[in-house]
Structure 1
Amino acid sequence: MTAPPSPRSPRGRRHGHLIGGYGLPVLAALLFLTFSVALPDTFPTLDNVSSILSNQSIPAILALGATIPIATGKFDLSIGYGLGLAHVLVLRLIVDGNWPWPLACLVVVLGAAAFGALNGVVVEFGRIDSFIATLGTGSILYAFTGWITGGARIVPGAGGLPVAFTDLYDSTFLGLPVSASYVLALAVALWLMLERLPLGRYLYVIGSNPRAAELVGIPVRRYSVYAFAGSGLVVGFAGVLLAAQQQIGNPSVGLEYLLPAFVGALLGSTTINPGRANPLGTVVAVAVLAIGLAGMGQLGADFWAVPLFNGATLLLAVGLAGYSARRRLRAGAGETRRPPAPPPTDRALSRDTP
């Protein structure tokens, strides 16, 4: 009878990598299969899949934005507040300012990127912990949202919003919601940046060991600012899509997207490339959350089940992310500690001696 592979053996490490790397996609498939069996008439349908993709596209984009600073070991808690400000600001410019919608969207997205860079400056040059710094700047963003709206909703006039603007969210592409294609395109772009370009490798080195990054000549502060600016850029884009989706500016919208975004980003760091934040893992994690929430909703779960599910999953994600990171570090340390070569035997010495 063959003994099971040891966790420290090459075969055991391969099995552990497969489970850690691809366990979450398998879980997503099992969840979809389970709910399809329980709800055969409503769940495994194209309409339901389209609804899930449409409803979860903005949380997925926000989670991808949160992934960028997480790669450097930082957290941007202002993304929920930034989402709320971006969506009311673009509507204010279009409805009350009579701006052309492409110009309003461009200004909002670039403004969000600039504010993200400001977050990075506060964290890196102000030497303030990213949790505290971005929580403070997020509160400032929330104050700006209240000032712009006066605490009231922004409602378009009788003519409504430009159709081309609302089509940013409402249209379809290849039979599926166009917002799903944004998620896919953004995930691929971030994957190329983080996995194939020097910028991404620098961000990962900074997140792994900032001191070592400085010793090898990587400008840690500058690239950390770049990471926050990238996060802000994605948040601004998500805010534009949220405005096109809701078509009404609500000053209280935004905060409920914060927890799902971080759940997706942190849970995503436990799959595909376990131990570090990665965009493909984030998309898989968001898919697991989306399938779970959709299935629970169709089974008639109470309203409090959603925050309970998100909170419990966040705790699980943080624990698994920490475990994956520690396991990655142990694996790297094990590869660097190779046993020394054995000393030559008398027979080898006599053979090599002329």
Structure 2
Amino acid sequence: MTNHYGQSIRSDALEPGPDDYAGGGPSRIAHKIVRWLPVYGLPVIMVLLIALFSILLPQTFPTFLNVRAILGDKAVIAVLALAAMVPMVTGKIDLSVGYGVALWHILAVALIVQSDLPWPVAVLIVLLLGAILGVINGLLVELAQIDAFIATLGTGTILYAISLWYTGGRQVVGHLPDGFLLINAGDIFGIPLPAFYVLAIALALWVALEYLPLGRYFYAIGANPRAAQLNGISVRSSVILAFVVSGVLGAFAGVLLASKLRIGQASVGLEFLLPALVGAFLGSTTIRPGRVNVWGTLIGVSILAVGISGIQQFGGEFYVEPLFNGATLIVAIGLASHSGRRRAKVKDGRNDKKRSA
């Protein structure tokens, strides 16, 4: 992945060291601001966007109804962004998350209305198929040594073709049980249930990546696969596992989408790929710049959600959303590359100081 996108998903964060705060007075304060701006710049931008739209659109934007709509509508994208983030930690990319969500939501509906399966069984089957897709992607990347970008683009396109073949270009419709519909339609204290799913997934991934050995293995592989292997880390199995997690999360996003739309339609799903990737890439530019991370990814998705919601309430045309997502992706990759170069320069400077000492 680093060969295609520079240093956007390198695993070492820009962590301030003791020498970064040398000096005192105004210069020290200015240095701290410059140092922490990449870390908290995006959250600050998000707060400023919220404040701006709240001032310009006081009747519609700063309302609980709008917050509820944003949380509910962007949950699928947030789950897909977290799904795409996991392989990025290991230095890989999974494009199949955007294509897969089309097939998964169709299957979720079809298994219930056409095969008469209980909805929990249908959901489990979809999640299992997502895991199988992850295994296939991992084997293609690690065993067949196919570049992750090409491998997942190929499997994703095949999934999309299966969606078109299965539906024949028509919608899959039928009666869905209330329990399945509540997956998306339920709420707790007025907050849509999908928002809690996203929070639970984010917390689980954060704990796994930051506090468990598996997370350290993933980051080590993303930084230097050869060095990780020499240190006894099973690179192959770890990368395959990362794709499996991505596949399961992508399948769960499909279940959410099916519960939301209440129909299966092959033309739905691909539009989620770009914003999901944008959120994941933006996640490597904030909180821990130069290192893909969970909370940065959610902040990236939140910025997209807030920006698009505000623009649409201003009466933006239908093409504004893809335009906004595409421009943000370019900015995200540029910022990530800059963070990676800055991280490398900081590390080289520290190494030089150690050698000279």
Q: Give TM-score scaled by structure 2 length.
A: 0.90
- Residue identity in the other structure for 1:59: I
For structure 1, which runs of at least 5 residues remain unmatched after alignment?
1-6, 343-354
Query: Considering only aligned residues, what root-mean-square deviation do their CA atoms show, in Å?
Result: 1.5
Q: Structure 1: how far apart are the matches of 2:356 and 2:256?
A: 60
Residues 198-246 of structure 1: per-residue CA shift (max 9 Å, x gap): 1111111111111111121111111111111110010011000000000
Counterpart in 2 of 1:299?
314
Q: Structure 2: how far apart are the matches of 1:48 and 1:41?
A: 10
Counterpart in 2 of 1:188?
203
- Residue identity in the other structure for 2:321: V
Aligned-pair CA distance for 1:72? 0.9
Which stretch has the larger CA shift, 192-201 or 321-330?
321-330
Q: Structure 1: how far apart are the matches of 2:356 and 2:103?
A: 62
**Counterpart pick for 1:174 among 185, 189, 210:** 189
**Counterpart pick for 1:152 among 156, 165, 170:** 170
Matches within 5 A, 1:61-140: 61-140=79-158
Q: Structure 2: how far apart are the matches of 1:238 and 1:188?
A: 17
Matches within 5 A, 1:317-328: 317-328=332-343
Aligned residues: 333
Confirm or deny: 8 A CA contact 1:28 1:287 kept in the other structure.
Answer: yes
- Residue identity in the other structure for 2:76: I
- Residue identity in the other structure for 1:168: I
Counterpart in 1 of 2:178?
163
Q: Structure 1: how far apart are the matches of 2:106 and 2:171?
A: 9
Confirm or deny: 8 A CA contact 1:194 1:200 kept in the other structure.
Answer: yes
Counterpart in 1 of 2:280?
265
Aligned-pair CA distance for 1:338? 3.0
User: Which protein is bigger by CA-based radius of gyration?
Assistant: 1
- Residue identity in the other structure for 2:243: F
Q: Cα gap change, 1:29/1:228 in structure 2, threshold over 3 Å: closer, same or farther?
A: same
Confirm or deny: 8 A CA contact 1:86 1:108 kept in the other structure.
Answer: yes
Residues 111-151 of structure 1: per-residue CA shift (max 9 Å, x gap): 10111111011011111111111111111111211222122
- Residue identity in the other structure for 1:300: G
Q: Structure 2: how far apart are the matches of 1:184 and 1:115?
A: 24
What is the DSSP-based 3-state SS (H/G/I as helix, E as strand, rest coil) of the residue aligned with 1:277?
A: coil
**Counterpart pick for 1:24 among 9, 26, 42:** 42
Confirm or deny: 8 A CA contact 1:89 1:148 kept in the other structure.
Answer: no
Confirm or deny: 8 A CA contact 1:83 1:236 kept in the other structure.
Answer: yes
Counterpart in 2 of 1:56?
74
For structure 2, which runs of at least 5 residues remain unmatched after alignment?
1-18, 23-27
Q: Structure 1: how far apart are the matches of 2:347 and 2:197?
A: 35
Identity %: 51
Residue 275, structure 1, aligned to residue 290, structure 2: yes
Aligned-pair CA distance for 1:18? 1.6
Aligned-pair CA distance for 1:8? 6.3
Which stretch has the larger CA shift, 15-24 or 126-135?
15-24
Q: Structure 2: how far apart are the matches of 1:120 and 1:217?
A: 19
What is the DSSP-based 3-state SS (H/G/I as helix, E as strand, rest coil) of the residue aligned with 1:59?
A: helix
Residues 251-277 of structure 1: per-residue CA shift (max 9 Å, x gap): 111110000000000011100111111
Residues 29-88 of structure 1: per-residue CA shift (max 9 Å, x gap): 100000000000111000011011111111011001000001111111111111011000
What is the DSSP-based 3-state SS (H/G/I as helix, E as strand, rest coil) of the residue aligned with 2:84?
A: helix
Residues 290-317 of structure 1: per-residue CA shift (max 9 Å, x gap): 0000000000111111111111000000
